[in-house]
Amino acid sequence: MSHPTTYDATQATFDALVLEPQGELVVVDFWGEGCPNCEVYAAAEPALLAELEGARMRVVKVNAYQDEELARRFGLFGIPTFLLFRDGKLLGKMSQYYGRDYWLGVIREHLPPSA
């Protein structure tokens, strides 16, 4: 088994990385340099993904400062913000990083059923 894969996205690659995949949860992490809560999540991310070993999901990171159009497209007001997609549909949004248990709970709630 492996940890969920993490990708960096831009305006040009967003749809292919987020909206086109089928049968997996796509967690979009809108972040920015110098954002304290973004740094807290970034430090926790390897351990969080290790807990999701084998999950049918990917994490797509978008620098909200460099790709402001994507942030506007989804009506973001702050970072970090996590958008959850499956099969091209927006399932939910988490504004801010509230810690390990909350983040994992929301992610697990939206994971596709095991094959």
Structure tokens at 100: 């390990």
pLDDT at 101: 96
Active-site residues, by number, are 35, 38
pLDDT of residue 76: 92
Amino acid of residue 100: R
Listed as ranges, residues in the chain with pLDDT below 70 are: 1, 115
> What's the pLDDT at 113?
82
Question: Cα angle vertex 98, ends 55, 46, to 5°?
Answer: 40
Please state whether the predicted TM-score (pTM) of the whole model is above 0.85: yes
2 vs 89: CA distance, rounded Å = 25
Retrieve residue 8's tokens. 């960096």
The fold of the 5-110 domain, in CATH, is Glutaredoxin (3.40.30)
